[in-house]
Structure formats: C-alpha cells, structure tokens
Chain A
Amino acid sequence: MLSRVVLSAAATAAPALKNAALLGPGALQTARIFHTGQPSLAPVPPLPEYGGKVRFGLIPEEFFQFLYPKTGVTGPYMLGTGLILYFLSKEIYVVTAETFSSIATIGLLIYGIKKYGPSVAEFADKLNEDKLAKLEEAKQASIKSIQDAIDMEKAQQALVQKRHYLFDVQRNNIAMALEVTYRERLHRVYREVKNRLDYHISVQNVTRRKEQEHMINWVEKSVVQSISAQQEKETIAKCIQDLKLLAKKAQAQPVM
C-alpha cells in the first residue's frame, strides 16, 4: 500500500512519470523484500489508555475536524439532520413496526450504558488493578525475602570477623590445661622420686639402728660377762653404803 502512495506522489510531482506508475506496481512486486524488520515480542508496546474520541458514540471527532474549515461548527450537524430527513421523506428509510421496536431497543441500550457504564468500567479497571497488585505483591515479597537473606548474610559476616576472640579464648584454655597437666605430672615425678629416696634413707636408718642395738647388746653382754661374782658383791655393798650416806645427808637438810 505504501508503494501505491509513493507512486501516486511521484505521479503528481512529475506528470511524465504517470505512465510509468501504471506498470510500476508490477515491477515493484518482484523487487519487494520481505521480513526486513526485526519483529520482537518483548517488551510489549503499551496499549493506548483512551480510545478515539467520538460524538454521539458513533461519529469520530476527526470527522468534525475534517468539516470544520469549510462548514464551521454546525456543518456536520446540518449534514446529519439533512440526511435523516432526506431518508425519511423519500421513504428510503420506511417507518415500519420495526422502527418502534428499534426505538425501544436502542433507547434501552443507551439508557443502560449511560447509567451503568462508569460502574462497569470501574469494575473492569479494578479487576486489572487487582491482577497487577497480586503480581506486584509477589515481586515485593520476593525482593523482601532476598533482602532479608542479604542482611542476615551481612550479620553472619560481621560475626565471622569477631570469631578470633573465641579462638583466642579456646587457645588459652587449652594452654592452661596443658600447663596444669604438666605440673601435675611433674609433682607426681617428684613424689615418686622422694618416695624412692625416703625408702633408701629409712633402710639406712634401720640398718644403723640395728647395728647400734646389736653393738650395745654385744657390749652389755660382754660387760655383764666380764663382771665376776666377787666384783658384783663388792659393788652392791658399796652402793648400799653410799645410799645410807645420802640418806643421812638428806635428813639433815630441811625440805624447802
């Protein structure tokens, strides 16, 4: 169709080309290139928000604009009225029974549309809005959950930064435990060694005591053996004499 427009423009521009216009389309068909564009389905182009403006619900506004330069504002109305009266008077449109039923039907339709139109339109808009709101809700919920996950991740990362404190404490604990075990073992070694040494000392003590005792016994025995009977009598008599002397001395002095 565009090719026809181009050709007619060319014909008006240069009348000599008018003959060429007659066999132009045929030549053009063979040279037409198909599928040159890049049709893509996304993103979908938006729908217009409002339809074309119409008057009386039937006649587009462009018609009135089209007639305005020549006939002014009342032009299309005069045209309409004239046409209707012409059809009626010449009985091109015959008034029959159907006329009245059509008046009834179309009157009822117009009344219904005028009365319930806006509410129905609002209902349709609400349906669309609800659909969008649900999808938006899903999207927002998804975004929020991901955001929450990100925040938690950040918190976890912050915690990880402070983990070395925990490790230090644990390291200290372990070092202390090791120290304690070492000291305990050291003490045990000391005790064991002391035990051994004490044993040796007590063995030595016992041996020496035994030797002493044995020696004393031997000495006593040999002394007792060496005391003859005569010496024994003389010693005992001397002891009795000493005792009597002491007794006299003791009685002589008063008790203090």
Chain B
Amino acid sequence: MNENLFTSFSTPTLMGLPIIIMIIAFPALLYPTSNRLISNRIRTLQQYLINLILKQMMAIHSPKGRTWSLMLMSLIIFIASTNLLGLLPHTFTPTTQLSINLGLAIPLWAGAVILGFRYKFKTSVSHFLPQGTPILLIPMLIIIETISLFIQPMALAVRLTANITAGHLLMHLIGAATLALFSISTSTALITFIILLLLTILEFAVALIQAYVFTLLVSLYLHDNT
C-alpha cells in the first residue's frame, strides 16, 4: 500500500529509459495550429480561450511588460494542461515534482527582479520600505521585506507542488478507502465514492486555478518591476 501510494510520483521510465522529457513535451501536441482564417471547432475554441486569457492577463502591463506575453501565456497553458492531464488515471504529472516547479519559478522571478533592479533601481529598492512606517522599525522592516522578496520563488514553486501533490494523494487515498470499504459495506463505499466525485470536481478547479495563480503572481512581480 505504501509502495503503491507514492509510485505515481516517481520519475516515469519506460523499460528503464527515463521518458520524463517526452512527458513534459507531450501537452504541446494537443494544441493544433493552422494557417486558416476559419478552422475547426477545437481550434476556434482554443483561439478564443487564449485570446481571452491574454487580454485579461496582459491588460495591466505597460508595453515593456507586454514583451513577456508569450512567456506568460506559454506558462499558463503548460501548467493548466499538465495539471488537467494529470487527473486522468495512471498519468504522471510533471508539476508534482518540486524540481520542475523550481525550474519554472526561479528563472521567471529572477528575471522580473533583475529587470526591475536594472531599469528602475529606485522604485525596486523603494519596495523594501512600505509607506508610513515609524522610523524605529525601518531596519527590521527592511530585513523582513528582503526575506519576503527572496521567499517569493520558493513560495511559487512550493505552492504549486504542494497543491497538486496533495490533491493527487487525497484522490488516491479516498479511492483506496472506497476500494477497502467495497467488500465490507457497500453503502459506506458509496458515500466515500460520492466524496471522491466531489473531490474530483475540486481537483479540476484546483488544476486550473493553480495555473492561473502561478502566472498571475509572475505577472504581478513583472508589473512591480517594469
């Protein structure tokens, strides 16, 4: 049971070969491209959704911030699709691995911060001191703000990892509970199954929301720094 619970999070191998790269690259295959003006339904819907998200997310940025549009859109689509695909049975979700999330969070955060410090040094440094603080508290507050700044990438990565991993684990555990209760008392198993259904609905929502939150926060860091 213990072995079964965590095997879904191990690096996937196919006959001894790590195929993690292919698994990470796979969701990109699900988004069709075309040169046509009017395409089939799935492509129309995809165009519509991406336009919607793009407008909503990049509206607050200046033109300098909008150079990051491609990056942020790719980010949200990658995280959303990997999360959603991970809900299917027997799939491996890359975003459950802290390594991948750190790999996403640290470069993006560092890029935004370095951009801010390079082009708008005074504004970036002024973020360390909120307005209207008593003079005695200033040194401590600056230390706290610095720590808060450096914790941002960690928070991004760990938030995503923890949410998705926790969701998967919970689904696994409740499924196991249903399985165990199936032979003991069917009605309890049914109740547990209904809980599982509700949880699955939540997981779908969480998958999308986490993608959104990640990208939104990166965009906020960008907005602060451009």
Contact = CB atoms under 8 A, between A and B. Distances in A.
Interface in A75-108: 95-102, 104-108
A132 B178 CA distance: 52
Interface in B137-176: 171-176
B44 interface: yes
B175 A100 contact: yes
B197 A124 contact: no
Contact of A128 (B38, B179, B204): B38
B173 A98 contact: no
A95 B179 contact: yes
A125 B45 CA distance: 9
Interface in A114-170: 120-121, 123-125, 127-128, 131-132, 135
At the interface, is chain B mostly helix, strand, loop or mixed? helix
A172 B152 CA distance: 96
A124 B48 CA distance: 9
Given A101-B171, A108-B201, A124 B41 contact: yes
A104 B45 contact: no
At the interface, is chain A mostly helix, strand, loop or mixed? helix
Which 6 A-B residue pairings sit nearest by Cβ, starting from the closest?
A102-B89, A97-B175, A97-B176, A100-B175, A124-B41, A101-B175
A44 interface: yes
A3 to B, nearest CB: 29
Interface of A: 41, 44, 47, 95-102, 104-108, 120-121, 123-125, 127-128, 131-132, 135
A104 B176 contact: no
B193 interface: yes
A240 to B, nearest CB: 145
B39 interface: yes
B196 A100 contact: yes
B199 to A, nearest CB: 8
B83 to A, nearest CB: 13
Contacts of B171: 101, 104
A97 B172 contact: yes
B196 A124 contact: no
Contacts of A95: 179
A44 B177 CA distance: 56
